[in-house]
């Protein structure tokens, strides 16, 4: 047993104040297989703590042997008593940045399953992963939110993401797997220097051996300091956002220009965070833009002759004292096939819940989702409609979506009859 894992895991679960249903991201690698066995041991040793854990194996379908590997991992997991599922990715694969594509696909599938089952998510990131992640984000020029690294518990649109191995070193995990003779697959990409994380791991090992022996610990400490700083500012951030930001269910945002300027003059870092989170939400981006790009954008926003700018698939307009952030009409995945009563994420912006099968299409301009003429977004109704999906049913009927916004701790019900709903994934209110 990894020292103190049971106590640590139990403390995390109790702190959630949530149901004890979990999805475990199970890759078959050393970290996730160790976590699988640790959770199994915890369940066996703590019968008074009811845990329903469903491991999900993502077959990215990138290697010929991936299907057989997924089946073997599933069998091992089932033999431990878990109700394990395999999700195979059959979508189009890009020519470049395959790891980033795979990570996004994996994230969307796991989040969709969590929302579908009203479950929380368990991931196998550890102490050394944290240092690597922070080092990569520093070199990329991430904004303040990015420099927090990963937290043991993160809330995302009502889902708790739990990383119970985060305080533990890779060395401890390896020793545990070796002592318990736990089977795992070695991912060949872990030794391929063309991938950013592999290169980062090499650089950090070199730094640790020759220059800065405590670099891993210091990077984790830096991450914790930034996390605590952001937690202390969250109340003010939410208070200001509720007063000065209006979010439209179709994925647009309006901000009071003068209020944002006032924030900018008092705290540049705070303004960076606000604008970054808006672009994340409207553009459907996993992360805020790089610090330099966001900084340059803010300089444009307060320029004397500012009218229009774009960043992260988002167009920004100034109109009558307000900034409007609207999704650009490009790189939208229309054509996605939808199965009945399944959950999907569209464009990184919307959770789709539908009682009808069909495929996603762009809107018919003659039958738009109506935006009230008193709405601050009335002028931009055409823009909004052209970036949200409609559903073309198997019978050829076009269905307009019901629009909603996911709040913290949402109650999302299975779609009603003849219902096609889009829930905007909200990254602004933390």
Tell me what pLDDT residue 20 has.
86
CA-CA distance, 206 to 290, in Å (whole number)? 26
Task: Count the residues in the chain.
Answer: 430
Residue 427 has pLDDT above 80, yes or no: no
Q: Which helix (H) or strand (E) holds 113?
A: helix 98-117
Helix, strand, coil percentages in the chain from 3-state DSSP, rounded to 5: 45, 20, 40
More confident call, 165 vs 218: 165
Once rounded to an integer, what is the mean pLDDT over residues 278-298? Answer: 89
CA-CA distance, 87 to 205, in Å (whole number)? 34
* Predicted confidence (pLDDT) per residue in 8-31, tens digit: 898 888 888 777 899 999 999 999
pLDDT band at 144 (very low <50, low <70, confident <90, very high): low
CA 24 to chain centre: 15
The structure tokens listed for 241 are 């956002």
Residue 234 has pLDDT above 90, yes or no: no
Helices (H), 47-97: 66-79
Residue 190 has pLDDT above 70, yes or no: no
Model confidence, pTM: 0.78
* Predicted confidence (pLDDT) per residue in 24-79, tens digit: 999 999 999 999 999 999 999 888 888 899 999 998 877 778 889 999 999 999 99
Provide the pairing of β-strand 245-247 with 159-162. Answer: unpaired
Please, what CATH class does the domain formed by 5-218 belong to?
Answer: alpha beta
Residue 417 has pLDDT above 70, yes or no: no
Residue 192 has pLDDT above 90, yes or no: no
Helix and strand counts by DSSP (H, E) for the chain: 12, 19
Residue 415 has pLDDT above 50, yes or no: no
More confident call, 257 vs 217: 257
Tell me what pLDDT residue 37 has.
95
Average pLDDT, the chain: 86
Residue 247 has pLDDT above 90, yes or no: yes
Residue 367 has pLDDT above 80, yes or no: no
Which of 228-232, 353-357, 394-398 is the least confident region?
228-232
> 376, 246 in Cβ contact below 8 A?
yes
- List every span in the chain annotated with CATH 3.40.50.620: 5-218
């Amino acid at each position: 047993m990894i020292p103190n894992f049971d106590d640590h895991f139990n403390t995390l679960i109790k702190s959630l104040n949530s149901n004890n249903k979990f999805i475990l991201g199970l890759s078959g690698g050393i970290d996730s297989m160790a976590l699988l066995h640790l959770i199994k041991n915890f369940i066996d040793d703590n019968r008074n703590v009811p845990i329903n854990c469903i491991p999900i194996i993502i077959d990215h379908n990138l290697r010929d042997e991936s299907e057989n590997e997924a089946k073997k991992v599933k069998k091992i997991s089932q033999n431990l008593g878990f109700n394990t599922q395999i999700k195979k990715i059959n979508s189009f694969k890009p020519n470049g940045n395959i790891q980033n594509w795979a990570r996004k696909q994996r994230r969307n599938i796991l989040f969709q399953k969590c929302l579908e089952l009203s479950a929380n998510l368990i991931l196998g990131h550890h102490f050394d992963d944290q240092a690597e992640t922070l080092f990569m984000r520093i070199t990329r020029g991430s904004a303040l939110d990015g420099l927090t690294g990963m937290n043991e518990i993160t809330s995302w649109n009502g889902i708790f993401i739990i990383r119970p191995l985060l305080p533990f070193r890779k060395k401890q995990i390896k020793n545990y797997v070796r002592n318990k003779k736990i089977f795992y697959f070695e991912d060949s990409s872990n030794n391929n220097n063309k991938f950013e994380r592999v290169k980062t791991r090499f650089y950090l090992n070199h730094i640790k051996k020759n220059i800065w022996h405590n670099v891993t610990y210091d990077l984790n400490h830096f991450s914790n300091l930034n996390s605590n700083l952001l937690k202390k500012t969250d109340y003010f951030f939410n208070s200001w956002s509720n007063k000065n930001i209006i979010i439209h269910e179709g994925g647009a945002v309006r901000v009071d220009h003068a209020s944002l300027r006032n924030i900018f003059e008092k705290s540049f870092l705070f303004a960076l965070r606000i604008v970054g989170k808006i672009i994340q939400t409207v553009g459907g981006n996993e992360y805020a833009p790089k610090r330099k790009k966001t900084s340059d954008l803010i300089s444009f926003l307060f320029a004397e002759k500012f009218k229009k700018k774009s960043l992260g698939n988002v167009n920004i307009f100034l109109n009558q004292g307000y900034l409007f952030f609207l999704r650009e009409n490009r790189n939208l995945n229309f054509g996605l096939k939808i199965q009945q009563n399944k959950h999907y994420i569209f464009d990184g912006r919307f959770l789709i819940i539908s009682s009808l099968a069909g495929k996603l299409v762009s809107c018919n301009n003659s039958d738009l989702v109506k935006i009230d003429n008193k709405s601050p977004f009335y002028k931009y109704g055409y823009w909004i409609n052209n970036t949200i999906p409609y559903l073309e049913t198997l019978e050829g009927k076009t269905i307009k979506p019901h629009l909603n916004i996911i709040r913290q701790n949402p109650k999302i019900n299975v779609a009603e009859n003849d219902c096609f709903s889009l829930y905007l994934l909200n990254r602004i209110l933390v």
